[in-house]
Amino acid sequence: MKAIGGYFELADREAEGSYPVDGVRLNTSRNALEYIIRCLPDCKHVYLPLYTCEAVIEPFKRLPDVGFSFYHINNKFEIADEITLHDGEYLIANNYFGLKDAYIAKLSEQYGVRLIVDNAQALFAPVLPNIKAAYSARKYVGVADGGFAVGVSDLDALSYELDDASEHDSHLLIRKEQGAEAGFKDYQQNECKLDNQPIRRMAYQTQDILTHISYENVIAKRRANFEYLHQALGGHNQLVLPKLNSFACPMVYPFVGLANIDLRSKLIANKIFVARYWPNVLDWAKPDDLEYTLAIRFMPLPIDQRYGTEDMKRIIEIINNTSE
């Protein structure tokens, strides 16, 4: 049975092109975020979404003079709280799963230079004038690492050491040769190696791969797969998703079914690998918070460029055949 989803294999060299993002090239998106904050001398406090990856907290461990607090989101993946920013305060907004381009544009009008966009899940989201943003490459294509900091100078980055992707790329090679299950242990280990890394410049290997990918193909396939799943599952989805013409390229198809069943186990048993975003939220949120529910029930269905219509049909069939 063909595996669908999960971590990437090493990306093929398909084209001669440019980087997907024009920004300061660093080793991870979390470090791109830290780099941005370090470029803000007046930054004293940052508002973060409660529903976010634990890695986003890492920069603040190294920035003791910058505090942070959480805010809530709704089922549209939009800010649910009233947030007024004062001097020295900034807001980090997540472009969740690459779907919130239009919403981020509205936030940029509201908060201006006080807005920092976490585009770790939105590699192809447009760069907005005067807005700072952090991007990640490895959520969309087969590279071991790689982040971009947008809206800040690259002068400070020149002093950082160059990263070495060979220290955490074994899972990419193993999956390419032996399949998803064979490299999963290496994938987990390599993910851990990215934790608490100092800011470094992007590895040469990552830079080389990122300039040899057909991004037009990546975008087209992801959008087609997203639309196919949404036509079949949108009526059963408790999440409110934006229209396809409002965002550039989705990372996954976000899905929460109508009943509290263990759909994740059913999908994984059928070799459809869905990640869990994010178990750390269970330690931060209250049981009646939406974020708590999302941490348990949210299914990021795979739609990436490795797959086509027949694969999407298989996902839909399994979900429809799972008793609600």
For residue range 47-62, what is the model confidence (pLDDT) as tens digits?
999 999 999 999 999 9
Domains in the chain (CATH in brackets) are 16-210 (3.40.640), 215-318 (3.90.1150.10)
Q: Is the peptide bond before 284 cis (omega within 30 degrees of 0)?
A: no
- The string over 114-152, giving b where at least 16 C-beta atoms fall within 10 Å of a residue's C-beta and e elsewhere, is bbbbbbbbbbbbebbeebbbbbbbbbbbbbbbbbbbbbb
Task: Please state the pTM of the whole predicted model.
Answer: 0.95
What pLDDT, on a 0 to 100 scale, did the predictor assign at position 260? Answer: 64
Going by pLDDT thresholds of 50, 70 and 90, the confidence category of residue 271 is: very high
**Can you spell out the DSSP letters for 246-300?**
G-S--SEEEE--SS---HHHHHHHTTEE---S-TTHHHHS-TTSHHHHHHHH-EE
Going by pLDDT thresholds of 50, 70 and 90, the confidence category of residue 44 is: very high
Residue 258's Cβ-count burial label (10 Å; 0-12, 13-18, 19+) is: exposed
Mean per-residue pLDDT, 287-298: 96
Residue carrying structure tokens 């505090």: 67
* Cβ-contact 250, 226 below 8 angstroms: yes
* Residue 5, phi then psi, degrees to nearest 5: 90, -165
Mean per-residue pLDDT, 193-207: 92
Decide if pLDDT at 324 tops 70.
no
- The mean pLDDT value of the chain amounts to 94
Cα separations in angstroms, 272 against 98, 306, 307: 21, 13, 12
Whole-number Å distance between alpha carbons of 126 and 73? 22
Q: For residue range 185-199, what is the model confidence (pLDDT) as tens digits?
A: 988 888 888 888 899
